[in-house]
């Protein structure tokens, strides 16, 4: 695949960063399982505006983000874009739809900065699930955390004012407000740029 | 707990219904694991309007619904209610927030009909995860399926017209439209009863 032209053997630091993610999920990975995994890992760098995943394709990989950031977005037939998620350092980018159902992904994932990743092929993940229960546990914990995130977002759409949702965005993605254009945030919150500007002015004056 | 006053030993049919759920998730449970689980299972019946879970409490159990249906809803301080989910036969009712974080649940789960369930104590689920990888796998599959559901709902909130969302509700919950009052559906879709009536008339005339 062309996106893997830039594939490189990962540094020791990169692998340690990824390992910390498992530790933070309170999953203990036996040394022998790490030793199996590590030779399968490659680093892949994406340029600004490159696509990690394209809608309509069955996504082949999950990516663990070492540096940079990516937005997940839907694109409609009339060319409108709707941001659904941002993944930053130590987060994952991938499609559960493709991983679980082997079906085409419905959204795009695009690097908004030069982004360095560890590549986790879906095929490798499926193989790990068969190898050892520690990987099942890591998969379960990551899926559960995603459920909690999506549940919080569902609650916001049902209940919360734009101001509450914007304040939560600032808390959930610290520093991101300075790294991406405001229209990407407005799209994530499902409002116009004008409505978001009004709220920002209100917050800054308060 | 008072809700377990009506706890009874489950019938063979109930246990088989629950077992089919695992089979449909393509998880193979060894016979010895079923034999361990079954004596831990009880059936619990809830009357119409009874609460399976109350917001503010740490939920103790997941419930597998044998018969009946439940709505999940948020209640705001000024007394407004927002439906987030309906669980029907062969579905689960519970709080991942309480299961994963041991923290109070943010929503209510209420039976809308007389509802018969198999009780799955969170404590038992945690114990099963330690016992055998088949339970980790079942947990992972169920969490992944919930991610796919929540992702579809997120997409709807961002992109879809009320008509599209109502048509999806009819497809996702076949027959439910005849079992619950329309205002519960309007609340699930995040619109007023009047707006939903307009769409229903339009669809019926089309």
* Helix, strand, coil % in chain A, rounded to nearest 5: 50, 20, 30
**According to the model, what pLDDT value does residue B5 have?**
60
Which residues does chain A have within 8 Å of residue B137's beta carbon, measured at their own beta carbons? 129, 136
Residues B113 and B17 in one domain: yes
Å from B76 to nearest chain A CA?
8
- Domains of chain A: total: 2
User: B99: which 2 tokens?
Assistant: 């299961």
Taking the C-alpha atoms of residue B147 and residue B141, their distance in angstroms, rounded to an integer, is: 10
* B106 shares its domain with B205: no
State the nearest Cα–Cα gap between A41 and chain B, in angstroms: 23
pLDDT value of residue A87: 95
Judged by a CB distance cut-off of 8 A, whether residue A184 touches chain B is no
- B75 part of a folded domain: yes
- Chain A residues with CB under 8 Å of B147 CB are 96, 143, 146-147, 150
CATH classification at residue A100 = 2.60.120.10
If asked whether residues A27 and A121 sit together in one domain, one would say yes
- Full residue range of the structural domain in which residue B166 is found: 160-206
- A114 & A166 share domain: no
In a domain, A154, yes or no: no
A103 and A194 housed in the same domain: no
Other CB atoms within a 10 A radius of the CB of residue B142 amount to 22
Q: For chain A, which ranges sit under pLDDT 70?
A: 1-5
Name the domain boundary from B96, B115, B144.
B144
Whether residues B74 and B109 share a domain: the answer is yes
Q: Does A159 touch chain B (CB under 8 A)?
A: yes
The CB-side HSE value for A135 (13 A sphere, CA atoms) comes to 17
pLDDT at A3: 52
Name which of B106, B133, B151 is nearest A155 (Cβ-Cβ). B106
Output the tens digit of pLDDT for each of chain B's 206 residues.
445 567 899 999 999 999 998 888 888 999 999 999 999 999 999 999 999 999 999 999 999 999 999 999 999 989 899 999 999 999 999 999 999 999 999 999 999 999 999 999 999 999 999 999 999 999 999 999 999 999 998 898 888 889 999 999 999 999 999 999 999 999 999 889 999 999 999 988 87
| Distance separating alpha carbons of residues B147 and B99, to the nearest angstrom | 16
Considering the domain boundaries, does residue B149 fall inside one?
no
Residues 38-77 of A with CB under 8 A from B: 74, 76
pLDDT at position B25 is: 81
Q: Please indicate, yes or no, if residue B164 is contained in any of the structural domains.
A: yes
B20, B99: one domain: yes
- Least Cα separation, residue A143 to chain B (angstroms): 6
CA–CA dist B139, B129 (Å, integer): 8
Predicted-assembly ipTM surpassing the 0.85 threshold? yes
Q: Is A147–B74 a contact, with Cβ atoms under 8 angstroms apart?
A: no
CA distances from A73 to A99, A172, B179 (A): 18, 18, 36
Are B96 and B33 found together in one domain? yes
Domain-located, residue A173:
yes
Residue matched to tokens 């409108």: A80
Nearest C-alpha of chain B: how many angstroms from A136?
6
Residue A181 lies in a domain: yes
Q: Are residues A16 and A97 in the same domain?
A: yes
How does DSSP assign A20-60, residue by residue? HHHHHTT-PPPHHHHHHHGGG-EEEEE-TT-EEE-TTS---
Contact assignment for A140 to B136 by CB distance below 8 Å: yes
Do both B17 and B82 map to the same domain? yes
Question: Hey, is the C-beta of A9 within 8 angstroms of any chain B C-beta?
Answer: no
Can you give the pLDDT at residue A1?
44
B124 vs A71, A114, B8, B39, B157, CA distance in Å? 38, 46, 17, 12, 35
Chain A touched by B32 (CB under 8 Å): no
| Segment A36-74, tens digit of pLDDT | 999 999 999 999 999 999 999 999 999 999 999 999 999
The reply to whether A10 falls in a domain is yes
Of B102, B108, B126, B100, nearest to B50 by C-alpha is B108
C-alpha distance from B122 to closest chain A C-alpha (Å): 14
Q: Is residue B174 part of a domain?
A: yes
- Claim to verify: residue A141 and residue A169 sit in the same structural domain: no
Are B127 and B76 in a shared domain? yes
Alpha helices in B54-192 (DSSP H): 96-101, 122-131, 133-159, 162-172, 182-189
**What residues of A are in contact with residue B158 (Cβ under 8 Å)?**
74, 82, 84, 190
Q: Among A146, A175, A196, where does a domain finish? A: A146
């Amino acid at each position: 695949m062309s996106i893997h032209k830039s594939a490189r053997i990962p540094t020791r630091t990169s692998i340690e960063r990824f390992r910390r993610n498992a530790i933070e999920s309170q999953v203990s990975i036996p040394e022998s399982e790490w030793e199996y995994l590590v030779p399968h890992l490659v680093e892949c760098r994406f340029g600004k505006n490159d696509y990690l995943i394209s809608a309509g394709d069955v996504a082949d990989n999950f990516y663990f983000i070492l540096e940079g950031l990516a937005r997940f977005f839907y694109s409609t037939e009339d060319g409108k874009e709707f941001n659904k998620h941002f993944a930053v350092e130590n987060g994952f980018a991938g499609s559960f739809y493709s991983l679980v159902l082997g079906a085409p992904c419905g959204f795009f994932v695009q690097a908004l900065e030069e982004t360095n990743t560890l590549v986790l092929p879906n095929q490798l993940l499926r193989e790990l699930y068969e190898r050892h229960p520690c990987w099942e546990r890591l998969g379960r914990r990551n899926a559960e955390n995603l459920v909690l995130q999506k549940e919080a977002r569902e609650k916001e759409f049902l209940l919360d004012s734009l101001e509450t949702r914007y304040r939560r965005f600032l808390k959930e993605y610290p520093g991101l407000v300075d790294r991406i254009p405001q229209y990407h945030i407005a799209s994530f919150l499902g409002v116009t740029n004008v409505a978001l500007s009004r709220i920002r002015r209100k917050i800054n004056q308060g």
